[in-house]
Structure 1
Amino acid sequence: MDFTECYSDTVSIVAAAARSGCRAQVQKLIRRGFSVKSRDNRGWNALHEAAAAGSKDCVREILSAAAGCSRSSRAYVNSLTHEGESAFYLAAQRGHLSVVKLLLKAHANVDQPTNDLSCPLYAAVDGGHKEIVEYLVSKGAEVNGTHTASCWTCLHQAVYKGYIEIVHILVSVCHLEALDDHKITPLFVAAQYGQQKCLEILIDAGANVNAQAADLATPLMIASQEGHVGCVALLLDHGADPNLTCSCDWPQLPIHAAAEFGHIGILNRLIAVTDRVCDRGLGMVSPLYLAVRKQSKSVELLLREGYSSDAQDCTHILGLRSPLSFALFLTSDEPYSESVRLLIAAGATLSEDDLMYALSTEKTDLLQLILQHRWIPRPDWKRGTISSPEHAKRTVLKLQELRELMCVALSEVHFAACWLPLLLQAGLEPSLLLQPNMLEEADGGVLNYLLEFVNWSTLSPSLKLILHQRKEEKTWTPHAHFECVPCLSHLCRLKVREILGSDVLMRTDVVQQLPVPVNLYSYIQFTDIQQTSYTHSPHPPVSQRIQGYRSTHKHRHVL
């Protein structure tokens, strides 16, 4: 090889002329003895430049000049750049059909791979050069070879680019179920990238609509995840299975992907065809778990369509106990999310962990939300009875929920200044809080507030002893009237509370209907009692407190 015209940063003089497409200049230089084989720093020679430029006349002149023995001529035609690109590859890549035909007549290798495993046909497909693809296929180019690091075939690439006409050409000659390195078929690619027309061509050609990738993902799952409504409809209409498990790790279905990413139109379609066993079935996962991540519209739709706000316990599958507990965990350091509101309004069961988020903080937003949708039953309340129209709008706290509410409240006495007024005004029987640890640990102001709601003269001797000790230790300063027998006005107020029901007394306008002077309304509703303010002190995050609560808590109180 003649290296006399190799340069570190430019092409040879013949290659420069070929790049410009000047046939006369190429002829002149060749006659003067300049070599067509000189390479630049990319490994390109004059034939590469002419082919890339699409100059058929220059290619013909260069090939003629390179013709000596047939062996050396063929080697020159198939010479490669440092990237492994032949002149034939460059012409196919850039869409120069006439040059492709000329080089093929000169014995160019139709399937010569590049360093990155591409080939002329793959390059033509990638560039969308339909006529070249058609020509190369007719000349016997390998159509099912795998190319690039991902092992895609030409059909994968045509579908990815959305070249409908090229897909039409390839489906008749290519293996429809060809797999890449993740066992993904061309049809999967069409579903993933929303190439609906290509998807339709593949389906009509007989491609498998339920072909699963290495991780078990299906075309329907990926189309649902990416929000391609048309592709989802096409797949379902042609037999795609919405109940096929799409993950090696947990029983994921297409409906989970639609719910997680908030594709409401797709979610609506999948709700109608997905087996409801995923909602509550053991070993399954409700789509609500995925929806609560931030997709409140998905939560709203699922609940409206009858999915359970409680779902199933997925601790052993996802490490999540319920959709509500997951939603609270996601927003533990913020005000409650819309998903939390929707779940509580739908009647989601409250666990001790859930109640920790409401009571183990100085913020009362979540507790107020719970009390908007739950009412605390009176001790003599019987299931099936409604105390008032106000009750009919809310769900009664179940006995287990009330037990857990009391357990959490009595373990979070430090925050009682925040939650105590809300619970008492919502109708909680105050005597339930008259427990030793409450009287021992509560702030003095909290203790005084609580005692205003009870007949303190009837406390048990053990509780009176605790109060006496706190008074002696000066950790509690009682109101002056606690020293004597409760006055008649105090006892009357308690009796009114008992008869009317504390929550009715506090939350409705029943008091305004009583035949008493207006200035007694606040007295009857206990609003004349001054609430204590919360004294801030550093506490671990709620999630950390829950872990500690689980490991150390013992039920302090049983209803």
Structure 2
Amino acid sequence: MAVSSVSMSGSTGTTMEFADYSLYSNLSDEELLRLAIERSLDDAHNNGLGTESTNTTAALTRPASSGTVPPSHHAQQQPQPYACPANPPRELTNSDAVSSVSHFITGSGKRMVAYRRYDGSLRVTSEPEDETDPLIKAIWEGDAETVWLMVKKPGCNLLKANRFGWIPLHEAAYYGQYQCIKILLKAQPGMVNQRTLMDQTALLLAVSRDHLTCAEYLLEKGADPDITNKERETPLYRACEKENPEMVVMLLKYSAAVNKNCIQGWTALHEAVCRNNVEICETLVKAGAKVSIPNMYGITPIFVAAQSGKVEALRFLLKNGAHLNSQAADGATALYEACKNGHEDIVEFLLSQNADTNKPGKTGLLPIHIAAQRDNDGTDLMTYGCTPKIVRSTKIVSMLIPATSKARVKRSGISPLHLAAERNRDDVLELLIEAGFDVNAMLSKDRSKMYEDQRSTALYFAVINNNIETTTMLLEAGANPNLDMFSPLLVALRQGCIHTVTLLIEHGANVNANIPTHPTTFPATVMFCMKYLTLLKYLMDFGCDALSCFNCVYGNNPHPPIKMTSHRLNDRDEESEKICVQFCDLISTENYCRWAGPIIDVLLDYVGHVKLCSRLMEHLESYPDWNGIKEKARPPRPLMQLCRLKIRQVLGMNRLNKIHKLPVAPRLIKFLNHQEREQNKTDTEQ
């Protein structure tokens, strides 16, 4: 079957499986497709009165067209109000048994009802069908002779409407039955502008179905070309939607209003531009259409052309006086929107016409910002011919770079580098760096406050995304890893990414970085790598302050109970900001106490004479295997250890980082890097 399920919006959005009902076995694929467009009722239990509604999707810039299908065959018409919906089957007439009811009509005109019980089960059955009016049936079949005979009969009421407000003239116009229309209007010409419940006239129905001859005859007989439906759409609007230039010319010939707006402010020219139909655009403009009339969102036709990638329509509009740099209600320009949607040809054309690349939207972002941040998701990876859309967005950035003012970018408070790094746009980031954009540009305070961690640099975005390629590019281009309030090195340590940590430290990241909002007596970098002893040792090799970890204000005296919890290191509150956390308190928490011995052991390799406080001693005494660490901490420290520390101090970190290039014996290098144990093991094996 073509359709397997339909969502009943009148209930709770539950899917109804058609395979469960033998009732649908005799329906065609077309009928099942029509069935999927169903009309739903509000919850009968809550409201007590059924009201059908049509599910429509309204676009932001382009209004959805209302349906023009005949009510006897389709489900897009508004029903005639009545006191009570058609009852569900007799066995469920008890209001306590039914939760909601929904009515719809199949493509062949069969009326159906779906209802949900309170136990959650969904049932569908057919409604009793009304007998079809013989006149309507004759119109459907195009039997003009029968229609003529029936119209002549005494008592024939041509204004009798069905439940959707459709009279015989509407049926004839919809199906394009020209002869039937002539007969009906000859019998009663005054009904030419009669409307349905959706405010559709026979002319609007004929235009919507491309019945040119019928529409022309209706106009000749006095049909008003400016009567709109409930969406305030005119026949001219519908003719543009159907891309029928002959229909457009005919309607204009009968003085159709060319600048009339629909419910969302969309005009016939908007619709013609959206469809890139230059022929219709030219006809409308010659008839007086305004090329810069905005819709309710401030969107003019030129904006529509740029947004939807219609180059020919865009050229036509600019040639006829459209404002190149006009802005929508949100401040966006045509160039801005073309960049947002990745239309390379539109951007290229607008730039050739000197479009303003430095005009921001209300968010303060420029076109280059929008182009730089375009995501690499499934939408951007769609291809057009052989060219991936993602490549287009890179080309757009390259076109915008020479036309964009770096001073204007700076005033915006955000660099396109930030957005490219945030969205992992490595290709765009490389272009921007080569173009000379400042890799150390900082977010403005207002933009920085939008992030909980108050990040400021593009490097921070790269590190928090764990994007090593972007991090490398920024660092090699001169990015300073110490500008953010919360150091990118702390982020990399928290993520446990050794590669990123190495990159940052090699480019000068502060290994003794702290967190301003959570003060500690020791470097915060130690706090984030205590479970990764390799990283901890690496930090110590590059000068991390190990001595501060043993500076305890209580010494051998009893320590107060530990009140600090693990969440305090992550949650910012007034109490936590007043507490300066000590190393012995942190290592005594549940998260780290099991690692206390090995952590202390590593730290002792990088200090001289120290005295462990009573709390650290308690940890070492709590586990027998840590007795050796306890002995290692007792003074005095070995002379070799003191010499190693003195040599490291004299050489300094810059030389230590390049010690492999100095004329120093390999054995001494291993000694200075605390690798003598490995050397001794090698000598023993030999």
Local SS of the residue matching 1:216: coil
Residues 374-429 of structure 1: CA deviation (Å, up to 9, x unaligned) = 43xxxxxxxxxxxxxxxxxxx345xxx56645977624654453343121233547
* Structure 2 match to 1:542: none
Aligned residue runs from structure 1 range 3-152, under 5 A: 9=130, 12-33=133-154, 34-66=156-188, 73=189, 75-147=190-262, 149-152=263-266
* Structure 1 match to 2:373: 260
Residue 451 (1) aligns with residue 572 (2) = no
Local SS of the residue matching 1:292: helix
- Given that residues 366 and 409 in structure 2 are in contact (C-alpha distance below 8 angstroms), is that contact kept between their aligned partners in structure 1? no
Local SS of the residue matching 2:446: coil
Q: Say what the alpha-carbon RMSD is for the aligned residues.
A: 3.4
- Given that residues 462 and 471 in structure 2 are in contact (C-alpha distance below 8 angstroms), is that contact kept between their aligned partners in structure 1? yes
**Greater relative CO, 1 or 2 (CA 8 Å, sep 6+):** 1
Aligned residue runs from structure 1 range 61-460, under 5 A: 61-66=183-188, 73=189, 75-147=190-262, 149-172=263-286, 173-247=288-362, 250-262=363-375, 263-281=393-411, 284-297=413-426, 298-317=428-447, 319=449, 320-324=454-458, 327=461, 331=465, 335=466, 339-340=470-471, 342-346=473-477, 347-351=479-483, 353-355=485-487, 358=490, 363-365=495-497, 368-375=499-506, 395-397=507-509, 401=510, 404=513, 410-411=523-524, 413-417=526-530, 418=532, 419-428=535-544, 435-436=551-552, 437-438=582-583, 443-454=596-607, 456-457=608-609
Local SS of the residue matching 1:301: helix
- Given that residues 492 and 501 in structure 2 are in contact (C-alpha distance below 8 angstroms), is that contact kept between their aligned partners in structure 1? no
Local SS of the residue matching 2:487: helix
- Name the CA distance, whole Å, in 1 between partners of 2:437 and 2:158: 74
- Name the CA distance, whole Å, in 1 between partners of 2:268 and 2:664: 84
- Name the CA distance, whole Å, in 2 between partners of 1:284 and 1:352: 15
| Superposition TM-score, scaled by structure 1 size | 0.75
- Offset of residue 440 of structure 1: 7.2
- Given that residues 292 and 323 in structure 1 are in contact (C-alpha distance below 8 angstroms), is that contact kept between their aligned partners in structure 2? no
- Given that residues 242 and 273 in structure 1 are in contact (C-alpha distance below 8 angstroms), is that contact kept between their aligned partners in structure 2? yes
- Given that residues 464 and 491 in structure 2 are in contact (C-alpha distance below 8 angstroms), is that contact kept between their aligned partners in structure 1? no
Which segment is superposed worse, 164-173 or 222-231? 164-173
- Offset of residue 354 of structure 1: 3.3
For 2:673, give the aligned amino acid.
Q
- Given that residues 481 and 489 in structure 2 are in contact (C-alpha distance below 8 angstroms), is that contact kept between their aligned partners in structure 1? no
| Superposition TM-score, scaled by structure 2 size | 0.62
Specify whether residues 204 and 8 from structure 1 end up closer, same or farther in structure 2 by C-alpha distance, changes over 3 A only.
farther
Residues 205-231 of structure 1: CA deviation (Å, up to 9, x unaligned) = 110011111221111111111111111
Residues 323-366 of structure 1: CA deviation (Å, up to 9, x unaligned) = 347627964xxx4575455444542442464327626965421x
Specify whether residues 113 and 468 from structure 1 end up closer, same or farther in structure 2 by C-alpha distance, changes over 3 A only.
closer
- Name the CA distance, whole Å, in 2 between partners of 1:354 and 1:318: 12
Residues 62-119 of structure 1: CA deviation (Å, up to 9, x unaligned) = 22222xxxxxx2x211111121111111111111111111111111112112222111
Residues 240-284 of structure 1: CA deviation (Å, up to 9, x unaligned) = 11111211xx42211111111152111111111111014434x53
- Given that residues 617 and 630 in structure 2 are in contact (C-alpha distance below 8 angstroms), is that contact kept between their aligned partners in structure 1? no
- Name the CA distance, whole Å, in 2 between partners of 1:359 and 1:239: 44
Note the residue ranges of structure 1 that are not aligned, 5 or more in a row: 1-5, 67-72, 376-394, 458-463, 531-559
Specify whether residues 429 and 12 from structure 1 end up closer, same or farther in structure 2 by C-alpha distance, changes over 3 A only.
same
- Given that residues 159 and 190 in structure 1 are in contact (C-alpha distance below 8 angstroms), is that contact kept between their aligned partners in structure 2? yes
Residues 23-82 of structure 1: CA deviation (Å, up to 9, x unaligned) = 23323333445444332222222221222112222222222222xxxxxx2x21111112
Specify whether residues 528 and 441 from structure 1 end up closer, same or farther in structure 2 by C-alpha distance, changes over 3 A only.
farther
- Name the CA distance, whole Å, in 1 between partners of 2:261 and 2:441: 45
- Name the CA distance, whole Å, in 2 between partners of 1:359 and 1:39: 71
Which segment is superposed worse, 162-171 or 150-159? 162-171
- Name the CA distance, whole Å, in 1 between partners of 2:344 and 2:266: 25
Note the residue ranges of structure 2 that are not aligned, 5 or more in a row: 1-79, 81-127, 376-392, 553-581, 588-595, 622-626, 679-686
- Given that residues 426 and 503 in structure 1 are in contact (C-alpha distance below 8 angstroms), is that contact kept between their aligned partners in structure 2? no
- Given that residues 204 and 235 in structure 2 are in contact (C-alpha distance below 8 angstroms), is that contact kept between their aligned partners in structure 1? yes
Specify whether residues 209 and 362 from structure 1 end up closer, same or farther in structure 2 by C-alpha distance, changes over 3 A only.
closer
- Name the CA distance, whole Å, in 2 between partners of 1:362 and 1:321: 16
- Offset of residue 529 of structure 1: 6.1
- Name the CA distance, whole Å, in 2 between partners of 1:357 and 1:506: 18
Aligned residue runs from structure 1 range 484-503, under 5 A: 485-491=636-642, 493-494=644-645, 497=648
For 1:91, give the aligned amino acid.
A
* Structure 1 match to 2:86: none
- Given that residues 183 and 214 in structure 1 are in contact (C-alpha distance below 8 angstroms), is that contact kept between their aligned partners in structure 2? yes
Specify whether residues 136 and 295 from structure 1 end up closer, same or farther in structure 2 by C-alpha distance, changes over 3 A only.
farther
* Structure 1 match to 2:675: 527
Q: Structure 1 vs Structure 2: percent identity of aligned residues?
A: 26
- Name the CA distance, whole Å, in 2 between partners of 1:211 and 1:359: 43
Which segment is superposed worse, 151-160 or 48-57? 48-57
